[in-house]
Structure 1
C-alpha cells in the first residue's frame, strides 16, 4: 500500500477494535485514521479482501525497565546507568469498510495479529466523509487532516438533527454555515431566533452582500428598542406583526400570562371578546372588559373577574407586536428561502406564542397536504421553548407542538434543527427524536449525561473527548455522515450575529467615554471635593 506504515496488530483482535504496536519515533496521534488493507471478509459463500478503516482512540508509552512501583532513588539509578527504551501501543476503533454500493458496513471477520497497519490515505477518507459536491453541505475538514474535507448529507436531516454545545463553543456559527449552504440547494428554512444570532446572514463581515442575500428575509417586530443590531446594520427588515383580532380567547390569555387555572378570569376575557367585531386590538378588549365590570347588571363575581382580567390585558398594550395583518404562511414556505424571525427584545410569553403559532401554522398546512416543499425549522435556545420535565422553564404551549413535530413531522416534510446549550433541560421527547447530532464542547456533567442518553451513535471514546474539544471543533454522529466524525468547522461567508463581544475593546470604549464626559462636565474652576469617608 502506497502510504505510511506505522505498526502491527498485536494481541487479541475483534471486529470492533484492535491493539497495535508502533515505532516510538513514528507513531500516529490520537484521532488519526488508520487502514488495515486486504482483510478477508466473508461474502456469500466465499471471501473478498477489503480495506478496513479505523480511528486511533488511545496511545500509550510503556517501559519494561521503568515500572510504576519504583522509588525516585531507584528510578534515578536506573536512568543514570541505562538508556530506557519505550514501547508505543495504540488502541483503534474499527469504523468499517466501503461496500460496492458505497455504503459503510462493519466487518464480520477480524483482522489477524501481525497484520500491518497504515495511515489511511486521504482519498480513502474522502470517500467516507465527503458527500458529492452537488448536494453535500461543506462544513469543514477532519480534525486531524485539513486536506480531507467533510460535507454533510442533506438526507441526514430527514429524522431531525440537533446542534449541542456550551456557550461560546461556536454552535450558532456552525448553524449559520449550514444554513448558507443549505439555501442554494433549494431549501425552505425558518429560523426562530431569540437572540438575533442570524440577522447578519445577508452581510459579509466587511459589510458587502453575501451570495445568498436576495433569498434571506429578516422579520422583526417594529419599534423595539435596545436591539443588538439596528435595521440599517442588517440591511433592512420586514415588520413582523400579529393581527390581534384573529386570536382566540385562550391565545390572548396565554400571551397575557393568565394561568389556565384561573378559569373565571379566562371566562371574563372570552365574554368581553364576544362583544367585539371587525378589527380590534388590546385597547378595545380592555374597554369591553371595563364595560362589563362597570355594568350594574353584572354580578359581583364576574365584575371582579373582568377587573382582574383588565390588569393582564393592559400589559399587552406595551407589546410591539400587534398589527392589522399576520405574516402569510405562504410567504415563509416558498422554495429557496431563508426566513429569520428575530424574537430578541420580546417578552418570553410573546416569544413562546410566536414559536407556537408559527409551528401550528406549518403543521396545519402539512397535514392538510398543502405543504409543497420540505421545510426546515431551526429552533434556537430550544430548551426554553421545549423544556423537559422537572425544569423550572415554562415553555408555554410551544412544547406540545414541538414534541408533535419531533415525533411525526418527518412524515409530512417538516424537519427540525434543534439548537441548545442545555441538553439536560430540553424535553427528552424532542432530543431523542433527533437522529443526527452535532456536538461541540461540553463540560457540564448533567448536559453530558443527557447527550449520552439521547445519542445512540456516540461511542464512549468520543463521549470522553467532548470536554477537550476546542472552539470550532465538533463530533458528528447519526445520518449526516457515514460514520461518526470529528471535524474542524470551516469559515463561512456571512457575518456572525451570535459572537461574543470583545470585552477588552468594550472596556476601552467605556473608559474613553468616561474621560470625555468628565472633561465636558468639569467646571471652569474645579471645586474642592469633600474627602470620602471611605
Structure 2
C-alpha cells in the first residue's frame, strides 16, 4: 500500500507535462540536456549567427525535422533563449495554411513584439529603446516612446524626425509603420488600438485620428507592413522566425494529399495547403531582413511541401538536421531525473534513487523511445501505481501492466467535503469585474483556464489527450486555448480558442476579433479549429465591425454570452484546482460542474449521459445517501427512477440521461472509467446508429442486445443475418453467463417470454422462404409528387441492373429513362406486380414515353427481365409474398416480433443486394402507411456487413433504397442500425445520417486509420482502438459525449461458433 508521502510524490510527478505548446516556447526553460539533440542545437545557432553577421540579406532557412515527440518544440524554446540572450529577436509563426500567409506573418510579428521571453521588457520596448538610442533622443522622450509616460503627437513627430535624420532611407520609407509601432506601445488603449488597426491593414471609420497621429488613411498591404517591421528590427539586431504547427495544418485538411503517381490529378486539400505554405516560406527570405527562418515539422510534411513546390523553395532552406530517438540509456535516465528532481523537491520527498519508481536498469531500452514517448511511458507506470495503490518499481520499459479499469472511488465523506468547499467558494468569490475591459485580460484567462482544466478531468482524460493553455500576459490574442490530440503520428489536433471581449470602442473590438481569427486560422472547411468569442454587450454599429462579426461567424467562429453563474463556477474551480484535494478528480468526474455550465454546454454539448440542461450551480452536497447501501441489490442505473420520483429529486451524484418517451430508456453499457450505466432515449434510435468494429470486438453481442432491449420495450425488428450468428435470437442460454449483470436473468426471461422470433430463408424452401416483388406500392404515393419520384427512383435502381441497364453508356441511360417513364405510366394506370409491368414493357404504348424508338428498347428489357425471373426464383417468383406488416407484427400474446432474415439462400453479393433493395422498398412503403406517431420508435431495421450492401464509391442494386431509408425513415419512426468492419467502406451518407456511433476493436491499420478519420468528424479520437477488448466500444451520440463503454452481454444464447446452414433451416421451420 502506498504511504502518504509516496502518494503525494506520485501525484506531483503526474503533473509532469511532456507535450510543450507554442505558449511554452516563451516561458523560461526548466531543463536542457546538451547530449540530447546537441547537433541540431548547434545548427540553429550557426544559422542565427549568419543572420547576425549579415548587413541586410537573410540567410538560408533551416529545416528542423523530427518525428512526433523528438523534441522540436523544446529545441525552439532553447533557441529562443539563446537568441534573446544574444540580443536578437524571436518570433513564432503558428497556424497558417498559406491562404492568408502575410496577414498571419504580421500578426505573428505583433504577437512576438508583445512578448518578453528572456528580456525584462517586451521585445517592442527593446526595439523602440534601441531605435531611440540610434536617434540619440533624450531620456524623457525615450520614456514616452517606450510607453513609460503618456505619448503626445509632438513627441511622436520629434522621434520620427530624429530617426529620419540619422537614417534617411529607413526613416522615410518606414515612417508610418514606425509611428504605428510607437502607438502600439503607448499607455493609452485608444492609441494602441489605432496603431494595431493600421499595422493590420484595417479600414477605419474615423480618419481624423489617423491624421492627428500622422498616419495615412490608405492601408498598407500585409506584406508591406511585414517588410517594414523587419527593416526596423534589422537595424537594431537579427531575428529568428520559427514556423511551427505545419504538421497540424496539413493533418487538419480533410482529404489525403498523398501523390499516387498521377501528376496531372487535381491537387487535394493538403497538397494545395502544402503548395501555398511553400510559396509563402519561399517569400520570407526575400521579404524579411537579417532573419533566419526555422521550420520545425515532420519529415513527411517537408517532403510534401518540397514535392509540390518549385525547386526554389527547397533551395532556400537547409535540410541538414533531423531529430530522432534518445541517443543512449544514460541520456534517458538523465532526462527523467532532471524532470523529476524539481517535483520531488516541491513536496519535500527524498526518493531512494533519482528516477524512482523507474529503476536505472529500465533505461537500457531508452534508445527505442523519443523523449516524449519515454516520459509518456513513465507516466503510464505512475498511473498504474496510483490506481493499484502499490508502488511497483519499473524494471523494463517494454513490460507493460494493464491498469485496472477503474480507479478507486473516493470516500463519500471526502466527496462531501469537496462539494461543501465548492459551494462555499461559489458564494464568496468575486467576479464582478471579470468582464470589464480593464480586467478581462487578467481575470478571464484564469477563470476560463480553470474551467477548461476541470472539464478535461471530467472527461476522464488519463492519457494527456487534452491540453489547456492560457493566453499571454498583457493584451492577449486569446484568453484560453484547449487542444485535443487526435493522432499523435501526424500531429493532428482539434483546437478551441476562447476570448472574452467587453470593449466598446470600435477599434478595440475590431482588433481583438481579427487577432483571434488570425491566431486560430479560422476556416469554415476545417472544423477542427474553433474560436469562441464571449460578449455580453451589444456590438458597435459601424459597418466595419458588422462586417468583421459576420466574417467571423461565417468562418466558423462562435459568439455567445457567459453568465455570472458560470464565472462563479469557474472561480470556485480555480481555487479547488490549486488546493488539489485527493478526492477532487473523482468529484469532478461525478458532478461535472464545468461541463454543466451553460457556456461549455453550448461549446462542447451536454456532458455524457446528461439531460438537456441541468440547473446551474453546485446542487446539494453528496452524502452517504447518494451511495449504494448494503441493502441495495445493485447500483442504480442511469435513467432508473423510483415511481413518482422527478428529475429534481435525483441525487446530484447520479449522472442522469435524457428522459425517454414511453420507457426507461435503452441501456448502452457502463462507462469504463466510472462504472456509471448509460441509457439513451428509445426515440434516439430514430436518428439511426452505426457500429464500426471487427472480428472479436463483441459487435454481434452489441447488435443482439440492442435488438433485445428494443423488444423488451415492445419494438419489433427486421434484422439481416449474413453470417448465421443472429438466428439464435430466440434461443435461451443453457446457463447464465458469468458476465451478466444483476437483473439480466429476469430481463432474459421476460424477453424470451414476450418476443416472437421468426427466421426467414429467402430462396430456401426447406426453411421459411420469402418472395419479394420488386415494385413498391405506387398507389400509396400517387398523391405525393416527391414521394412518388423517390419510389420511381428506387424502382429503377432495382430493375435497371436486372435489365442490364445499370451502366453508364448512352444506351443504358436511355434504357433507364424508358424504365422510369414506363413505371410512371404503370403507376398512374393502377398497375401492380412485376409480371404485369413486364407485360406492359414488352408492348409499351407510344403514349407511355417521350423518347423515340423506345418500344424496341422496352421490348428488349422485358425479355431480359423475364430471363432474370427464370434464373432467380426470388425475383417476382413463388413463395410467401413479402409483407413488412407480417415481419413486424407479433403473434397473439407477444410483445414484439424479431424477423431474422437469413441470407443462406443468397450466396452472391448481387443476389443479396437485389433482395435487400426489394425488402427496403417494401419497408419504406409500409412504414409510411404505418408511422410511429406518438410512439418513441415504430420499428427497427438492422443491416450487418453494411459495406457489402451500400458501399462507398460504387452503386449496388440497394444503394438508392438504403440512402432513401437513411434520410427519410426517421420521420416515420423507423430506426436503422448499420454495422461494418470497414469504416470507410460504407457509404458516407449513411454515416452522416447516424447520430449514434460505436467504435470497437479493429486490428487492420487501414481500418484503424479510417475509424479515426470518421471519429474526428465528431471532434473525437479513438487512439487505442486496437487495444480495446471484446465488449468495449467508444460511443458518441446526441446527449452522449465521446467515451469508452463496456457493453452488456446479450440476453439470448450466443456461443462462439455460428450456426450451420441446416441449423438455420431447422429454426426457420420451427
Normalising by the smaller structure, the TM-score range is 0.5 to 0.7
Q: Distance in 2 between matches of 1:240 and 1:210?
A: 33
SS of 1:419's equivalent in the other structure is strand
Within 5 Å, which residues of 2 pair with 1:67-466?
109=574, 111-112=577-578, 115-116=581-582, 130-132=638-640, 135=664, 137-138=666-667, 143=672, 148=675, 150-155=677-682, 156-157=684-685, 159-206=687-734, 211-213=750-752, 214-218=754-758, 220=760, 222-224=762-764, 231=767, 237=768, 239=770, 241-242=772-773, 253-256=796-799, 257=801, 258=803, 259=805, 261-264=812-815, 267=818, 302-303=855-856, 305-317=858-870, 318-320=872-874, 322=876, 325-327=881-883, 329=885, 332=888, 336-342=895-901, 344=903, 345-346=905-906, 347=911, 348-363=913-928, 365-366=930-931, 374-375=937-938, 376-388=940-952, 390-391=953-954, 395-405=958-968, 409=970, 412-455=972-1015, 463-466=1022-1025
The TM-score normalised by the length of structure 2 is 0.33
User: Would you say the 8 A contact 1:161–1:435 is kept in 2?
Assistant: yes
Counterpart position of 1:478: 1037
More relative contact order in 1 or in 2 (CA 8 Å, sep 6+)?
Answer: 1
Q: Distance in 1 between matches of 2:775 and 2:1056?
A: 31
> Which consecutive residues of structure 1, in runs of 5 or more, have no partner in the other structure?
60-104, 232-236, 294-298, 503-534
Structure 1 residues 30 and 492: CA distance shift in structure 2, 3 A: closer
Structure 1 residues 183 and 289: CA distance shift in structure 2, 3 A: closer
Deviations 1:81-139 (A, max 9, x none): xxxxxxxxxxxxxxxxxxxxxxxx99954623653259969987997974427825456
The TM-score normalised by the length of structure 1 is 0.61
Deviations 1:351-407 (A, max 9, x none): 2231243134324644xx86755233323233344433x35756432243134137x
Q: Distance in 1 between matches of 2:941 and 2:826?
A: 37
> What is the deviation of 1:466?
0.7
> What is the deviation of 1:423?
1.6
Q: Which has the higher strand share?
A: 1
> What is the deviation of 1:55?
3.7
Structure 1 residues 7 and 391: CA distance shift in structure 2, 3 A: farther
Q: Distance in 2 between matches of 1:220 and 1:251?
A: 24
Structure 1 residues 466 and 273: CA distance shift in structure 2, 3 A: closer
> For the pair shown, which has the larger CA radius of gyration, 1 or 2?
2
Which of residues 488, 492, 513 is equivalent to 2:1050? 492
> What is the deviation of 1:204?
2.1
> What is the deviation of 1:321?
5.5
User: Would you say the 8 A contact 2:691–2:699 is kept in 1?
Assistant: yes
Structure 1 residues 32 and 380: CA distance shift in structure 2, 3 A: same
Deviations 1:252-281 (A, max 9, x none): 654341336443476379769979999986
> What is the deviation of 1:202?
1.3
Q: Distance in 2 between matches of 1:275 and 1:414?
A: 29
Structure 1 residues 313 and 270: CA distance shift in structure 2, 3 A: farther
Q: Distance in 2 between matches of 1:197 and 1:270?
A: 42
Q: Distance in 1 between matches of 2:769 and 2:854?
A: 44
Report the number of matched residues: 426
Q: Distance in 1 between matches of 2:836 and 2:408?
A: 71
Once structures 1 and 2 are overlaid, which stretch shifts more, 282-291 or 317-326?
Answer: 282-291
Q: Distance in 2 between matches of 1:446 and 1:332?
A: 38
Q: Which has the higher helix share?
A: 2
Q: Distance in 1 between matches of 2:771 and 2:936?
A: 23
SS of 1:417's equivalent in the other structure is strand
> What is the deviation of 1:416?
2.8
Deviations 1:387-443 (A, max 9, x none): 33x35756432243134137xx2x553333222222212233332343332221023
SS of 1:116's equivalent in the other structure is coil
User: Would you say the 8 A contact 1:244–1:282 is kept in 2?
Assistant: yes
Structure 1 residues 381 and 497: CA distance shift in structure 2, 3 A: farther
User: Would you say the 8 A contact 2:950–2:987 is kept in 1?
Assistant: yes
Deviations 1:40-81 (A, max 9, x none): 54786447xx9976746349xxxxxxxxxxxxxxxxxxxxxx
> What is the deviation of 1:217?
4.1
> Which consecutive residues of structure 2, in runs of 5 or more, have no partner in the other structure?
20-375, 393-401, 430-453, 465-568, 591-625, 629-633, 642-662, 737-747, 779-790, 807-811, 846-851, 1061-1070
SS of 1:398's equivalent in the other structure is helix
Q: Distance in 2 between matches of 1:433 and 1:275?
A: 33
Deviations 1:273-294 (A, max 9, x none): 979999986566656666679x
User: Would you say the 8 A contact 2:728–2:1052 is kept in 1?
Assistant: yes
Counterpart position of 1:86: none
Q: Does 1:57 align with 2:611?
A: no
Structure 1 residues 459 and 287: CA distance shift in structure 2, 3 A: closer
Q: Distance in 1 between matches of 2:1037 and 2:793?
A: 40
Q: Distance in 1 between matches of 2:762 and 2:725?
A: 18
Counterpart position of 1:7: 7
> What is the deviation of 1:169?
2.0
> What is the deviation of 1:468?
0.8
User: Would you say the 8 A contact 2:756–2:897 is kept in 1?
Assistant: yes
Give the superposed CA RMSD.
Answer: 5.2
User: Would you say the 8 A contact 1:196–1:342 is kept in 2?
Assistant: no
Q: Distance in 1 between matches of 2:819 and 2:581?
A: 80
Q: Distance in 2 between matches of 1:290 and 1:212?
A: 51
Structure 1 residues 140 and 399: CA distance shift in structure 2, 3 A: closer
Once structures 1 and 2 are overlaid, which stretch shifts more, 308-317 or 118-127?
Answer: 118-127
Q: Distance in 2 between matches of 1:291 and 1:399?
A: 32
